[in-house]
Structure 1
């Protein structure tokens, strides 16, 4: 059984809760990502997404200088390095997320994305199933709101 530690990305840009929204946007642009973990002393405190910036920042007329902790998502879903790739894919599908922070002994140690699952042929089925579940739920949610 393959473990998350075998496929997770470990070179992770992160922010502190006191950093501002502008800094988050710059990191997202520079790293070409839509989610950045928010850590304090290595402990995962939340995540900030491009969607958080739009819906909780711009749409609520908060300035770019506001602290990340005012708009970040703090409902955390995360995995561990020793969990199986199947379990990680299932957790991502259930939570409807495309990136799963990986925490070991209360420290952020990596991130697994659907891309990490998809580019490694043994995991293509798990990535495909997770993406299908995420897409189906998203499409149903959008359809129900029209």
Structure 2
């Protein structure tokens, strides 16, 4: 099974100039901890709930602070044709719960660990990914497109 068969196509995004409040509202609405940051449909970063708390709020910045002041610029992506098992391993290796799905440089979807688990086909892969994602302070040095 490929990523395109299980990814979400309705992806909520922010731009780097949007306020962090908008990103937080999307996270609340979608019930997730990260949102892709896009520029003309291209993923340029991710902003996480942790980015907002640690890089913005803890630094005394308010809700109108632009996303660019706290976003994570290392982005790990997959293509729609990526095998779901490989995507699960990519999540585990990079300790992320959501992967932007990119085709021809443009965001076309997002794959969440919950998408893998919902299919019941990749229970062991998503369980492995979740276990590895939850490892404390493991560093990721890979950027994959």
TM-score between both structures, scaled by the size of structure 2: 0.90
Aligned partner of 2:120 in structure 1 is 121
SS in 2 for 1:121: coil
| 2:33 is the counterpart of 1:7 | no
**In 1, distance between residues paired with 2:24 and 2:132?**
28
Tell me which protein shows more helix as a share of its residues: 1
| 2:15 is the counterpart of 1:16 | yes
Aligned partner of 1:26 in structure 2 is 25
- RMSD of Structure 2 on Structure 1 (CA): 1.3
Aligned partner of 1:80 in structure 2 is 79
Alignment of 1:1-146 (within 5 A): 2-135=1-134, 137-138=135-136, 141=137
Structure 2 runs not aligned, ≥5 long: 139-145
Give 4+ residue runs of structure 1 displaced > 6 Å after superposition.
Answer: none
Question: How far apart are residue 30 of structure 1 and its match?
Answer: 2.1
**In 1, distance between residues paired with 2:94 and 2:73?**
14
- Higher CA-based Rg: 1
**In 1, distance between residues paired with 2:98 and 2:12?**
14
TM-score between both structures, scaled by the size of structure 1: 0.90
**In 1, distance between residues paired with 2:48 and 2:129?**
20
